[in-house]
């Protein structure tokens, strides 16, 4: 009975029990409501799009691991998040071949070249989206109306364009709320924005479901609540100030918060753990920088929307934030 | 023609048309000296400094050349004058402040024959900037160069500890990051427009 | 240490050698450059003039001869000779009979990727823009550069209304850019899908420039017409 | 590094035997300034958005390289060590100015497309580097060969980049459409980011090939 | 006219520039002995520190200043050292080649593991977890920190989990000495052939439970050794290498083969009476 | 978690591991039988080994001095049982290291009696005498570190002890020794406090107890001698509340300076069991022979709190209490900081506060290690406010010096909160131990 070989390892011998794969899986659950809403609002095209990006990201991850003689890391679920999020930030009628390319780029350029999970310095999904936006700017700003009556029986013509071929433009352009505001100074009503009764990227329209997903993750201690809080507060405060100064020229803070990709970006993309700073104060600063950039680009920049760029720039700054803002170590006096 | 505001000149040179990420000027130091934050910062400072000097020199030479009617000597005089001025400054700093020399000086010879400097003065002449505009342009370009260099250095320092695959290590990785940074900087497009 | 003292003794000769080598090379270089310049200058000027003429004849179709004007501090139109570089260049184009066909005006502003420089033709008779050409742009190839290539877009400038009010000082309508296909009035520009920003920039540049230039040109019409 | 004797001698190998072609091929391939030495990157990235621009830029650089290498080599005993760099810059700047005017005299369009980068050849590390490292120490003939090799290598590299970028970014090569009209251009390839990505891609390929070769050699050396 | 302007402008400019450079040339001479560079060129550039200097350049400086002789660099081939000596006009100062040597024979074919270690696969890490689980506290843990730390690939782990030093590659840089948490490595001239291959401090046969080649401190080797060559200190024989140690007598009666003779390639030769253990596989895991 | 931290009056960060104390906290302390062979290493404390003063074959009686202190930072060793010295040689210890020690064969019917020595009375003795008495009794910190208590009590020149903190927190899961000691040895504790007060000159005494030991706190509070400046304070349940740095922060709102000791801010922290031992042994001039140990864990049949003679081999202990068939890991100490046992031939020492036995089925081995995803859970856990994420990444790359210079590696006290929280199962604490070891070694080699 007592003649077994014992096992030895270092303390602590207890673990809290939630693994990285568990966290990633839960993020997928939290994303699904908003994704399903996208499918509900935009129909078959959106469904195909989300499936394509997810499959493409997962396949890419798998094959890259194979080629570099590593064990496949698909089982940690992070590639699923990347693929799903990429799909959610694309217009519903985005051609599938481009979406597939986006998934490949996200994982290779955004993740693999840096060394895989945990090493990437940019948000992989946004690297993919930025590439797509630069490569196919027209396709990515061609929007598809929400709640078409026949959306579950037909799909957009663009969806099944042949690879390398130009999509037929069957969408309408510039009618999303942000563009409407930027180019024609028309504001959309807040309830419509919050409930997602508008056109936009597949997964970004329903702010309420996105917030619910975020709250679920925060409650399970799987997401950093400081980053979204900081971004949203900054946008609200900065935009509120501008709006007070000149309410003609500048939109209301609520419009800012609920339009475009801000909610999705703040809750799910800026929070990508890997590419954001790790210290609590650093998170606040990071969020504030992203918030400021979003407002600056949206209001004074050439593009109607800037969440993606703001997050990518935030990612680029985050090593500096981590380096400059270190927690004060116990017993070392005041900061 | 409406003259550009100083603000726009600055934003344009530093963010929208960043010298490194949009104009591809000074790629050699960008690839070479972006490994460590401290050196990157010093290099950025030195480049900005030389840019301001070069812009001043170039403004003067341009006036002179136009006056004597020899604009075709523009390029050769720019490069010769900038090179010697930088060398003079280097000697001067070395004599006056060894500390400053250690921080800045060692980079100066490197910078003398650098695309970013010459590019700056050529653009400045092409755009017909006046003296103050030239200085602002130089400051903006320098700030943009420093920003790009610092961002890259921060990222590369972080990646020193990442499990970067062997084949992408080194220049390939740096170029890819530069590409992604360049994509991100496109967010500034049209700023102030 | 021995090597050091050696260097010291030879220094004056080395200095002289340095001076000679550099000045010598400098002089050779000067000759080479000057010769090249002399040799290529006529051809370059020719090419440039051709390019300018081409641009002007795009915006003033049918133009045969031209004159160059500048605007001085007091908002007067003066004829200038070609070499001068004064701001606000305009070119007056005339047909074979010396009749004023229109004016080519340079204007610039900020587009998507930086400064846009354009040349547009203005017909004081019709009080309309008659042509449009991009001189310099950093707009995205394949996207923003449709402002120079898209025939649909260029179509806007065949006759873009910039008529003046009776006071001859203000414009009746400001030039505005609308979404593609939404053009209803002669003073509206039909934008380019996917390049809203560039097309709006063109609209803004034109609006700004015409607001200032149209009254000016009208004021000096007589000045321009006598040929 | 002693390379094990090869049984099969390829065309390139037989060429490499003669010293003259060896110097030339070194620049073109083995020590390719862009892909192997990674110097003079600014123009490589900046004017490689179409194959035509790339080729023109490459040729202009090669011209300057050739002329300056020749002159530096001729003058190598005249120029004192202390002022050599300044002298080289003078020489290089002269030829660049000449090239600039020549191109302007040929086509205003092309000159516009290449922009300031013709003038920037002056500060291309490649040219100064060759003057300093090779021409100042070698005979005129070898310097000329070296310049031709390096120039060809540089032009080749530029063309590689330009071709990929134009093909994907515009669907054409030398302005001639390659793909059907409905081809969707990858605008990103025309943008600065595309330059970075394409160069990274080519460097990656060179790296991978080099590693594969090394592995093979190591494999051969082992048994 | 153009030519004249050009001549005037460039003439002045180049004159100015030359002037500046001449001044610079006078003011900014770098005063450093050029021989340092030359010597540094001749050194192997490994910066291994085996010479006792923080790198090759400081060593070159020391060489030039005459503080040391080239023989200190154990990495250079003989010709290299000779070249430096000739260049500097000094003697080579040849030192006998030293190599790193392991003092443990307890591979997993003869030594037991008492517990199974889980965690970072490194000897240093394992040694901090209850000693690493090996039955003999003093013995090699076999995770190969020494192998990993060697810049010259001179150490490889054999099938029984013991490091083997390639004497041709070993430069005596001492990295393995520092890396080993059990202090099993030391640097010895290759002429030291009589070698105690054990570090166990326990006395008596009980230790053989843990490792069949351990020294039991029986003292036979010390007794047999001529001229008091070996003394027993802390239950281990210690060879006094200042005496004549070219003798194989002491190893002959060792019952466990803990004291050995090393052949030219540092292969192990055991005494005639030592127990022969020929086991191809791993000894079974022990019980606690 | 982390969200409502500020509501608690406690130190910042920390974790809440499952407690598992209910199985043993109500079981009274029971005497353990004597083992036939007692194994006594001479290094049961932190510091210099004791020097053996007996010889092989000699007969000794319980409580007799076997080894004297080897210096100031050392304590003597007393016979825990009457018997014969069988052998002297190297004996295994929990650290894996073998140290000189004594094998003591106990007489089959050894008496429990310990002869009375020269007692030290709290009323009459001088502080110096008490200090000497504490050393002579062989007392070391029973809270885990086994640091000689008299060394800690010697207040350095120029410092003053204002408050004495009696540490009854016992924040480690599973362990209930201090809990039982507080319930059953209250008188000893209060007597011990008197000795300690006299030595340190402390004007205030706080007995700190975690809220999950309410009954012990009430028991002690009820027994506080009248007019004694002793306060029993109940603290929120949080790991590592018992670490002295955290305890001082919670109780006094001050931080122990980095690299310093509580005495630097006028506090001395002593474990309750140590205090009780002082109170019990000093009046009789005896040495420490046994201590209370919690034996528990899913692999143990008769869980409980036992009074076990020092030197009892682990194998004997486990045979007595009975274990599950498939035992896989045994820890000395708690699950957060305890050490895994490699060899059951080691014995119970003065520092052993618990023996935890886990069968294979209960082990959650952290085999699936992911890369650090920078989730920050470790930062939110670390009570020292270090950045374990960065430290871990640096450690993996071998940048030990950078860790020490820029990221305060040496301030880590290996509490394990970070590794407990890490979803990627990175062996952070092991990395840090390794790096600290390397840094120390390097520093030592430089000087
Ligand atoms: C997280 C996220 C980031 C986005 N970033 C950008 C961006 O940077 N630029 C952009 O044009 N669209 C971006 N989008 C898409 C926009 O949110 C929006 O759908 C698009 O800009 C069209 O809206 P608009 O025309 O009203 O701007 C992003 C979407 C999401 C979900
Ligand atoms: C890489 C890239 C390049 C762009 N280039 C231009 C450009 O040259 N001109 C322009 O007007 N917009 C440009 N845009 C902006 C987008 O196309 C923008 O969303 C569009 O102008 C919105 O117009 P829409 O409402 O017609 O879709 C660019 C965007 C990207 C991502
Ligand atoms: C992470 C950590 C947790 C600790 N937990 C306790 C504890 O629960 N109870 C305790 O008495 N000592 C604990 N200690 C030890 C104390 O810090 C302190 O050393 C001890 O209370 C001093 O008393 P002693 O010397 O009498 O053992 C802990 C130490 C550390 C580093
Ligand atoms: C809260 C949270 C947000 C995430 N957001 C993203 C994201 O925006 N994009 C992405 O590619 N991966 C995201 N991930 C997944 C994962 O962090 C990502 O794949 C890694 O960056 C890959 O190294 C997220 C994970 C979590 C837990
Ligand atoms: S010799 Fe030392 S470092 Fe090498 S494997 Fe053995 S224990 Fe590890
Ligand atoms: S003979 Fe062998 S076992 Fe005996 S003391 Fe010598 S080495 Fe040890
Ligand atoms: S083990 Fe060290 S780093 Fe980890 S939480 Fe504890 S003190 Fe902090
Ligand atoms: S808890 Fe683990 S995964 Fe999270 S940041 Fe810390 S070390 Fe990294
Ligand atoms: S080519 Fe070297 S910096 Fe531009």
What confidence tens digit (pLDDT) does each residue in F280-321 have? 999 999 999 999 999 999 999 999 999 999 999 999 999 999
pLDDT band of A334, cuts 50, 70, 90: low
* CA distance linking residue C99 with residue E55, whole number of Å: 86
User: For the segment A195-243, what is each residue's pLDDT rounded down to a tens digit?
Assistant: 877 888 899 888 999 999 999 999 998 999 999 999 999 999 999 999 9
Quote the pTM value.
0.88
* CA distance linking residue D21 with residue D26, whole number of Å: 8
Contact (Cβ atoms closer than 8 angstroms) between residue B146 and residue B48: yes
Distance from CA of B142 to the nearest CA of C (A): 18
CA–CA distances in Å: residue F44 to residues A10, C24, F67: 20, 87, 12
Residue F394 to residue B161, Cβ atoms within 8 A: yes
User: Mean pLDDT throughout D155-177?
Assistant: 91
Is the pLDDT at D8 greater than 50, yes or no?
no
- State the maximum Cα–Cα separation within chain F, in Å, rounded to a whole number: 64
* CA distance linking residue F283 with residue F294, whole number of Å: 27
Domain ranges, residue F215: 141-284
Q: Is F387 in the pocket of ligand 8 (CB under 6 A)?
A: no
* CA distance linking residue F33 with residue F254, whole number of Å: 45
Domain ranges, residue E75: 35-88
Is the pLDDT at C7 greater than 70, yes or no?
no
Half-sphere exposure in the Cβ direction for B68 (13 Å, CA): 20
* CA distance linking residue A96 with residue A101, whole number of Å: 8
| Residue A16 included in any domain | no
pLDDT at B1 (0 to 100) = 38
Contact (Cβ atoms closer than 8 angstroms) between residue A80 and residue A42: no
Contact (Cβ atoms closer than 8 angstroms) between residue E63 and residue E70: yes
Q: Is A116 in the pocket of ligand 1 (CB under 6 A)?
A: no
Written as one string, the DSSP assignment of F357-420 is EEEGGG------PPPP----HHHHH-TT---HHHHHHHHHHT-HHHHHHHS-GGG-----HHHH
User: Mean pLDDT throughout C7-27?
Assistant: 73
pLDDT band of C90, cuts 50, 70, 90: confident
Interface of A with F in 153-212 (CB under 8 A): none
pLDDT band of D4, cuts 50, 70, 90: very low
pLDDT band of E25, cuts 50, 70, 90: low
| Residue F246 included in any domain | yes
Per-residue three-class SS string for A128-148: HHHHHHHHCHHHHCEECCCCC
* CA distance linking residue F432 with residue F447, whole number of Å: 22
Q: Say which CATH number the domain at F276 has.
A: 3.40.50.11540
Residue found by looking up tokens 């003053």 in the block: F160
| % residues pLDDT > 90 (chain A) | 59
Which has the higher per-residue pLDDT, B110 or A253?
A253
Residue B80 to residue E13, Cβ atoms within 8 A: yes
pLDDT at D5 (0 to 100) = 42
User: For the segment E231-249, what is each residue's pLDDT rounded down to a tens digit?
Assistant: 999 899 999 998 888 888 9
Does B161 lie at the interface with F, CB-CB under 8 angstroms?
yes
| Residue E237 included in any domain | yes
Cβ partners under 8 Å of residue C147, min gap 6: C134, C137, C139, C153, C192, C195, C198, C199, C202
Which of A9, A274, A329 lies at the smallest CB-CB distance from F374? A274
User: Mean pLDDT throughout A114-143?
Assistant: 92
Residue A3 to residue E113, Cβ atoms within 8 A: no
Interface of A with F in 67-86 (CB under 8 A): 76
Helix (H) or strand (E) holding F309: strand F304-309
Token digits of residue F148 = 């000689």
Does A301 lie at the interface with C, CB-CB under 8 angstroms?
no
Q: Is E134 in the pocket of ligand 5 (CB under 6 A)?
A: no
Which of A98, A134, A139 lies at the smallest CB-CB distance from D191? A134
Does A11 lie at the interface with E, CB-CB under 8 angstroms?
no
Which of B76, B189, B192 lies at the smallest CB-CB distance from C29? B76
Best residue for ligand 4 mutational test, from A214, A266, A273, A314 (most atoms within 8 Å of Cβ): A273
* CA distance linking residue F82 with residue F105, whole number of Å: 8
Contacts of F among chains (3+ CB pairs under 8 A): A, B, E
Strand partners, F317: none
Domain boundary among F234, F267, F284: F284
Best residue for ligand 2 mutational test, from A94, A141, A186, A201 (most atoms within 8 Å of Cβ): A141
**What parts of chain B have a pLDDT lower than 50?**
1-2
Residue C196 to residue A183, Cβ atoms within 8 A: yes
Q: Say which CATH number the domain at E68 has.
A: 1.10.15.40
Q: Say which CATH number the domain at A67 has.
A: 1.10.3430
* CA distance linking residue F84 with residue F81, whole number of Å: 9
Q: Is E179 in the pocket of ligand 5 (CB under 6 A)?
A: yes
CA–CA distances in Å: residue F262 to residues E222, F11, F157, F245: 53, 15, 15, 7
User: Mean pLDDT throughout A299-325?
Assistant: 92
Helix (H) or strand (E) holding F230: strand F230-235
| Residue E25 included in any domain | no
Which has the higher per-residue pLDDT, E2 or F169?
F169
Q: Is D141 helix (H, G, I), strand (E, B) or coil?
A: helix
Residue found by looking up tokens 């003073």 in the block: C187
Q: Is E105 in the pocket of ligand 5 (CB under 6 A)?
A: no
Does A166 lie at the interface with D, CB-CB under 8 angstroms?
yes
Question: In this complex, how many residue pairs, one in chain B and one in chain C, have their CB atoms less than 8 Å apart?
Answer: 40
Does B163 lie at the interface with F, CB-CB under 8 angstroms?
yes
Strand partners, E261: E194, E269
Q: Based on the structure, what is the number of domains in chain A?
A: 1
User: For the segment D116-126, what is each residue's pLDDT rounded down to a tens digit?
Assistant: 788 888 888 78
Q: β-strands A6-8, E115-117: how paired?
A: parallel
* CA distance linking residue C158 with residue C175, whole number of Å: 14
pLDDT at D86 (0 to 100) = 80
Domain boundary among E190, E206, E226: E190
Q: Is A184 in the pocket of ligand 2 (CB under 6 A)?
A: no
Closest ligand 3 atom number to CA of residue F149:
25
Backbone torsion region of residue E104, taken as left when φ is above 0, otherwise alpha when ψ lies between -120 and 50, otherwise beta:
beta
Residue E21 to residue D90, Cβ atoms within 8 A: no
Which has the higher per-residue pLDDT, A248 or F260?
F260
Ligand index nearest the alpha carbon of residue D61: 9
Residues E201-208: contacts with CB within 8 Å, 24+ apart? E201/E138, E201/E234, E201/E235, E201/E236, E201/F90, E201/F98, E202/E235, E202/F89, E202/F90, E202/F98, E203/E235, E203/F89, E204/F89, E207/E136, E208/E256
Strand partners, F230: F205
- State the maximum Cα–Cα separation within chain B, in Å, rounded to a whole number: 60
pLDDT band of D220, cuts 50, 70, 90: low
- Nearest CA owner, ligand 7 atom 5: F382
Distance from CA of D196 to the nearest CA of C (A): 16
Residue C194 to residue A138, Cβ atoms within 8 A: yes
Does E6 lie at the interface with B, CB-CB under 8 angstroms?
yes
Which of F315, F411, F416 lies at the smallest CB-CB distance from A2? F315
Per-residue three-class SS string for chain E: CHHHHHHHHHHHHHHHHHHHHHHHHHHCCCCCCHHHHHHHHHCCCCCCCCCCCCCHHHHHHHHHCCCCCHHHCCCCCHHHHHHHHHHHCCCCCCCCCEEEEECCCCCCCCECECEEECCCCCHHHHHCCHHHCECCCCCCCCCCHHHHHCCCCCEEECCCCCEEECCCCCCCCCHHHHHCCCCCEEEEECCCCEEECCCCCCCCHHHHHCECCCCCCCCHHHHHCHHHCEEEECCEEEECCCCCCCCCHHHCCCCCCCEEEECCCCCEECCCCCCCCCCCCCCCCCCC
Residue B94: its chain E contacts at CB < 8 A? 28
Q: Is E69 in the pocket of ligand 5 (CB under 6 A)?
A: no
* CA distance linking residue B20 with residue C209, whole number of Å: 33
User: For the segment D178-208, what is each residue's pLDDT rounded down to a tens digit?
Assistant: 888 888 889 899 889 999 999 999 999 988 8
Is the pLDDT at A42 greater than 50, yes or no?
yes
Does B72 lie at the interface with F, CB-CB under 8 angstroms?
no
Is the pLDDT at C3 greater than 70, yes or no?
no
| % residues pLDDT > 70 (chain A) | 96
* CA distance linking residue D153 with residue D142, whole number of Å: 16
Residue C26 to residue E14, Cβ atoms within 8 A: yes
User: For the segment A52-62, what is each residue's pLDDT rounded down to a tens digit?
Assistant: 999 999 999 99
- Nearest CA owner, ligand 4 atom 22: A117
Residue D49: its chain C contacts at CB < 8 A? 141
Domain ranges, residue A187: 21-324
Phi, psi of F120 (to 5 degrees): -120, 120
CA–CA distances in Å: residue F285 to residues D71, F78, F280: 100, 12, 9
pLDDT at F293 (0 to 100) = 96
Cβ neighbourhood burial of F258 (10 Å; 0-12, 13-18, 19+):
middle
Phi, psi of C69 (to 5 degrees): -125, 155
Which of A137, A161, A164 lies at the smallest CB-CB distance from D187? A137
pLDDT at B192 (0 to 100) = 63
Q: How far apart are the first and last CA of chain E?
A: 102
User: For the segment B33-64, what is each residue's pLDDT rounded down to a tens digit?
Assistant: 888 898 888 888 888 988 999 999 999 999 98
* CA distance linking residue A23 with residue A29, whole number of Å: 10
Outline where DSSP puts E strands in C37-114: 65-71, 77-79, 90-94, 100-110
Q: β-strands F163-168, F267-271: how paired?
A: parallel
Closest ligand 4 atom number to CA of residue A23:
27
User: For the segment E116-170, what is each residue's pLDDT rounded down to a tens digit?
Assistant: 899 899 999 999 998 888 889 999 999 999 999 998 899 999 988 999 999 888 8
Q: Based on the structure, what is the number of domains in chain F?
A: 2
- Using alpha carbons, select from E160, E56, E46, E37 the residue that is nearest to residue E102: E160
Is the pLDDT at F149 greater than 50, yes or no?
yes
* CA distance linking residue D101 with residue B87, whole number of Å: 29
Closest-approach residue (CA) in chain A for C197: A302
> Which of A109-118, F273-282, F363-372 bottoms out in mean pLDDT, i.e. has the lowest?
F363-372
CA–CA distances in Å: residue B175 to residues A112, A314, A318: 15, 19, 19
Q: How far is the CA of A200 from the centre of ligand 1 (A)?
A: 8
Cβ neighbourhood burial of E59 (10 Å; 0-12, 13-18, 19+):
buried
| Residue F192 included in any domain | yes
Could you tell me how many residues make up chain E?
A: 288
Is the pLDDT at F31 greater than 90, yes or no?
yes
CA–CA distances in Å: residue D150 to residues D52, D133, D145, D176, E140: 19, 13, 9, 28, 56
Q: Is C46 helix (H, G, I), strand (E, B) or coil?
A: helix
Q: Say which CATH number the domain at E270 has.
A: 3.30.70
């Amino acid at each position: 009975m007592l003649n077994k070989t014992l096992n030895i390892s270092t303390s602590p011998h207890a673990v809290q029990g939630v693994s990285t794969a568990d966290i990633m899986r839960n993020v997928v659950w939290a994303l699904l409501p908003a994704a399903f809403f996208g499918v509900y609002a935009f129909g078959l095209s959106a469904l195909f799009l989300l499936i394509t990006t997810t499959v493409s990201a997962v396949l890419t991850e798998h094959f890259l691991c194979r080629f570099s003689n590593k064990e496949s890391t698909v089982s940690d679920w992070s590639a699923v998040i990347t693929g799903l999020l990429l799909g959610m930030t694309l217009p519903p009628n985005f051609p599938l071949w481009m979406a597939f390319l986006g998934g490949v780029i996200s994982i290779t350029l955004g993740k693999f070249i840096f060394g895989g999970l945990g090493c990437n310095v940019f948000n992989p999904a946004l690297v993919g989206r930025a590439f797509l936006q630069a490569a196919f700017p027209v396709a990515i700003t061609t929007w598809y109306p929400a709640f078409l009556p026949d959306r579950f029986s037909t799909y957009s013509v663009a969806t099944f364009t042949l690879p390398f071929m130009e999509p037929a433009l069957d969408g309408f352009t510039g009618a999303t709320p942000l563009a409407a505001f930027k180019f024609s100074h028309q504001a959309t009503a807040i309830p419509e924005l919050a409930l997602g009764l508008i056109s936009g990227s597949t997964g970004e329209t329903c702010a309420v479901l996105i917030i619910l997903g975020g709250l679920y993750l925060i409650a399970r201690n799987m997401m950093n609540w400081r980053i979204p809080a900081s971004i949203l507060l900054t946008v609200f405060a900065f935009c509120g100030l501008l709006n007070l100064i000149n309410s003609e020229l500048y939109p209301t803070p609520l419009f800012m918060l609920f339009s475009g990709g801000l909610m999705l970006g703040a809750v799910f993309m800026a929070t990508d753990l890997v590419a954001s700073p790790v210290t609590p104060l650093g998170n606040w600063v990071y969020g504030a920088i992203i918030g400021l950039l979003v407002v600056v680009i949206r209001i004074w920049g050439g593009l109607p929307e800037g969440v993606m760029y703001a997050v990518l720039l935030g990612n680029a700054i985050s090593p500096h934030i981590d380096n400059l803002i270190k927690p004060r170590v116990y017993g070392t006096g005041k900061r | 023609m409406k003259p550009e505001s100083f603000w726009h000149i600055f934003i344009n040179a530093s963010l929208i048309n960043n010298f490194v990420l949009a104009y591809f000027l000074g790629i050699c130091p960008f690839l070479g000296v972006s490994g460590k934050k401290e050196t990157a910062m010093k290099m950025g400072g030195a480049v900005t400094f030389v840019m301001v000097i070069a812009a001043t020199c170039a403004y003067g030479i341009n006036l002179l050349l136009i006056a004597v009617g020899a604009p075709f000597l523009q390029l050769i005089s720019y490069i010769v004058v900038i090179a010697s001025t930088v060398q003079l400054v280097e000697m001067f700093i070395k004599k006056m402040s060894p500390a400053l020399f250690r921080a800045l000086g060692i980079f100066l010879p490197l910078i003398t024959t650098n695309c970013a400097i010459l590019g700056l003065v050529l653009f400045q002449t092409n755009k017909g900037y006046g003296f103050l505009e030239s200085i602002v342009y130089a400051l903006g370009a320098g700030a943009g160069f420093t920003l790009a260099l610092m961002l890259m250095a921060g990222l590369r320092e972080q990646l020193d500890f990442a499990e970067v695959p062997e084949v992408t290590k080194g220049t390939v990785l740096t170029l890819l990051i530069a590409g992604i940074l360049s994509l991100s900087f496109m967010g500034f497009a049209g700023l102030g427009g | 240490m021995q090597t050091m003292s050696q260097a010291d003794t030879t220094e004056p000769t080395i200095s002289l050698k340095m001076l000679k080598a550099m000045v010598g090379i400098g002089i050779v270089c000067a000759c080479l450059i000057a010769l090249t310049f002399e040799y290529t200058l006529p051809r370059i000027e020719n090419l440039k003039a051709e390019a300018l003429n081409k641009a002007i004849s795009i915006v003033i179709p049918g133009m045969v001869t031209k004159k160059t004007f500048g605007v001085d501090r007091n908002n007067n139109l003066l004829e200038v000779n070609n070499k001068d570089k004064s701001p606000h260049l305009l070119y007056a184009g005339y047909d074979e009979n010396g009749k004023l066909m229109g004016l080519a005006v340079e204007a610039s502003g900020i587009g998507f990727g930086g400064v846009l420089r354009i040349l547009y033709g203005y017909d004081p008779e019709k009080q309309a823009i008659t042509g449009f050409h991009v001189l310099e742009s950093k707009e995205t190839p394949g996207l923003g550069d449709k402002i120079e290539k898209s025939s649909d877009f260029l179509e806007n400038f065949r006759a873009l209304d910039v008529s003046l009010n009776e006071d001859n000082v203000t414009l009746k309508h400001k030039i505005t850019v609308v979404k593609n296909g939404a053009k209803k009035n002669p003073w509206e520009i039909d934008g380019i899908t996917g390049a809203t920003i560039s097309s709006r920039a063109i609209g803004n540049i034109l609006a700004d420039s015409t607001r200032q230039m149209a009254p000016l040109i009208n004021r000096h019409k007589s000045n321009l017409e006598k040929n | 590094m002693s390379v094990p004797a090869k049984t099969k001698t390829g065309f390139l190998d037989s060429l490499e035997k003669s010293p003259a072609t060896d110097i030339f091929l070194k620049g073109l391939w083995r020590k390719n300034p862009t892909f192997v030495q990674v110097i003079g990157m600014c123009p490589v990235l900046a004017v490689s958005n179409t194959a035509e621009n790339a080729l023109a830029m490459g040729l202009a650089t090669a011209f300057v390289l050739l002329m300056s290498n020749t002159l530096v080599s001729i003058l190598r005993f005249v120029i004192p060590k202390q002022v050599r760099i300044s002298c080289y810059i003078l020489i290089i700047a002269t030829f660049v100015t000449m090239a600039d005017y020549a191109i302007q005299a040929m086509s205003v369009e092309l000159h516009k497309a290449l922009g300031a980068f013709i003038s920037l050849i002056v500060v291309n590390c490649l040219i100064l580097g060759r003057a300093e490292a090779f021409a100042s120490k070698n005979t005129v003939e070898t310097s000329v060969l070296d310049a031709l090799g390096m120039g060809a290598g540089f032009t080749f590299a530029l063309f590689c980049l330009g071709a990929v970028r134009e093909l994907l970014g515009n669907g054409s090569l030398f302005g001639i459409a390659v793909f059907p009209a409905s081809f969707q251009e990858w605008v990103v390839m025309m943008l600065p980011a595309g330059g970075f990505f394409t160069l990274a891609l080519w460097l990656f390929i060179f790296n991978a090939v080099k590693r594969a070769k090394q592995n093979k050699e190591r494999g051969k050396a082992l048994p | 006219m153009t030519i004249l302007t050009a001549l005037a402008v460039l003439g002045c400019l180049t004159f100015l520039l030359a002037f500046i450079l001449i001044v610079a040339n006078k003011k900014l001479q770098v005063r450093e002995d050029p021989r340092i560079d030359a010597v540094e060129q001749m050194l192997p550039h490994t910066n291994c520190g085996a010479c006792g200097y923080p790198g090759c350049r400081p060593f070159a400086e020391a060489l030039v200043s005459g503080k040391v002789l080239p023989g200190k660099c154990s990495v250079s081939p003989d010709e290299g050292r000779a070249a430096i000596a000739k260049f500097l006009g000094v003697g080579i100062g040849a030192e006998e080649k030293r190599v790193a040597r392991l003092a443990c024979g307890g591979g997993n074919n003869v030594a037991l593991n008492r517990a199974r270690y889980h965690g970072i696969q490194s000897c240093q890490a394992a040694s901090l977890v209850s000693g690493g689980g090996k039955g003999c506290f003093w013995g090699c843990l076999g995770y190969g920190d020494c192998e990993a730390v060697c810049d010259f690939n001179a150490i490889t782990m054999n099938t029984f989990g013991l490091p083997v030093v390639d004497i041709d590659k070993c430069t005596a840089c001492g990295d393995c000495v520092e890396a080993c948490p059990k202090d099993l490595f030391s640097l010895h001239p290759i002429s030291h052939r009589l070698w105690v291959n054990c570090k166990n401090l326990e006395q008596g046969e009980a230790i053989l439970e843990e490792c069949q080649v351990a020294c039991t401190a029986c003292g036979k080797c010390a007794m047999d050794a001529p001229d008091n060559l070996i003394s027993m200190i802390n239950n281990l024989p210690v060879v006094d290498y200042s005496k004549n140690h070219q003798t194989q007598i002491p190893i002959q009666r060792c019952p466990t083969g803990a004291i050995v003779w090393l052949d030219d390639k540092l292969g192990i030769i055991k005494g005639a009476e030592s127990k022969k253990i020929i086991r191809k596989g791993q000894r079974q895991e022990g019980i606690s | 978690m982390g969200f409502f931290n500020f509501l608690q009056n406690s130190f910042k960060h920390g974790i809440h591991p499952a407690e598992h104390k209910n199985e043993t906290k109500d079981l009274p302390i029971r005497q353990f039988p004597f083992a036939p062979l007692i194994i006594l290493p001479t290094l049961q404390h932190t510091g210099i080994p004791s020097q053996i003063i007996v010889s092989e074959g000699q007969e000794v009686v319980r409580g007799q001095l076997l080894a004297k202190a080897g210096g100031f930072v050392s304590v003597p060793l007393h016979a825990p049982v009457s018997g014969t010295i069988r052998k002297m040689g190297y004996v295994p210890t929990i650290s894996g290291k073998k140290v000189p020690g004594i094998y003591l064969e106990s007489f089959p019917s050894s008496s429990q009696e310990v002869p009375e020595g020269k007692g030290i009375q709290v009323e009459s003795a001088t502080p110096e005498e008490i200090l000497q008495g504490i050393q002579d009794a062989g007392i070391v910190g029973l809270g885990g570190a086994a640091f000689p208590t008299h060394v800690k009590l010697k207040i350095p020149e120029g410092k003053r002890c204002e408050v004495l903190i009696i540490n009854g927190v016992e924040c480690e899961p599973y362990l209930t020794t201090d809990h039982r000691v507080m319930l059953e040895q209250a008188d000893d504790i209060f007597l011990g406090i008197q000795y300690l007060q006299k030595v340190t000159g402390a004007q205030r005494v706080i007995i700190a107890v975690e809220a999950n030991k309410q009954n012990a706190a009430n028991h002690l509070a009820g027994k506080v001698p009248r007019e004694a400046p002793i306060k029993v304070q109940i603290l929120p349940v949080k790991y590592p509340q018992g670490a002295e740095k955290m305890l001082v922060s919670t109780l006094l709102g001050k931080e122990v300076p980095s690299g310093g000791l509580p005495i630097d801010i006028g506090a001395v922290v002593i474990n309750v069991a140590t205090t009780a031992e002082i109170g019990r042994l000093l009046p009789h001039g005896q040495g420490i022979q046994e201590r209370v140990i919690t034996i528990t864990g899913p692999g143990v049949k008769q869980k409980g709190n036992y009074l076990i003679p020092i030197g009892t081999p682990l194998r004997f202990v486990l045979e007595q209490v009975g274990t599950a068939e498939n035992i896989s890991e045994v820890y000395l100490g708690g699950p957060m900081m305890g050490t895994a046992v490699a060899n059951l031939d080691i014995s119970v020492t003065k520092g052993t506060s618990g023996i935890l036995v886990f069968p294979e089925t209960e082990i959650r081995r952290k085999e699936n290690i992911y890369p650090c995803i920078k989730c920050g859970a470790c930062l939110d856990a670390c009570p020292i406010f270090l950045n374990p994420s960065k430290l871990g990444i640096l450690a993996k790359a071998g940048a030990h010096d950078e860790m020490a210079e820029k990221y305060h590696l040496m301030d880590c006290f290996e509490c394990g909160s970070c590794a407990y929280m890490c979803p990627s199962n990175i062996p952070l604490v092991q990395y840090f131990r390794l790096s600290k070891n390397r840094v120390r070694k390097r520093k030592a080699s430089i000087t």
